[in-house]
Amino acid sequence: MTDSVHFLRDDHGGPLGVVSVNAVNERGAILAFAAAVASNRPRDLEQLTQELVEEVGPREAGYVFAAALGTLVQDVLDPLLDVVEATGHPVRTKLAQTLQGMKAGR
């Protein structure tokens, strides 16, 4: 697999650095599964976040968090919801109703 490297720019188009998309995605996947394992332990979740920011810095951490969110939704939450819904519990419908209520309350 070839690495995809991108140049980062600031709000004015100035150079900030480079980022390896593969490294970000790999860190994001690790974070996603670590967060899923620690989902019932808030202190461990906070520690995961703190360690990531300390390791890569706040700017790159944002990219890793975004990658982790995608992995968490696609590879953890979606299959889990499939299993739950197969038992007759309409979880996605309930989530959609909750989302609609949240948007209405803005």
Residue-wise pLDDT tens digits, 60-79: 899 999 999 999 999 999 99
Query: Which structure tokens are listed for 22?
Result: 């593969």
* Alpha-helical regions (H) of the chain: 21-37, 42-56, 58-71, 78-86, 91-104
pLDDT at position 93: 96
By three-state DSSP, how is residue 40 classified? coil
Domain ranges within the chain, ordered by starting residue: 5-104
Q: How many residues does the chain have?
A: 106
Question: pLDDT for 6-26, tens place per residue?
Answer: 777 778 888 777 778 898 999
Question: pLDDT for 17-50, tens place per residue?
Answer: 777 889 899 999 999 999 999 999 999 999 999 9
* Of 6, 8, 25, 14, the residue nearest 70 (C-alpha): 25
pTM over 0.95, yes/no: no
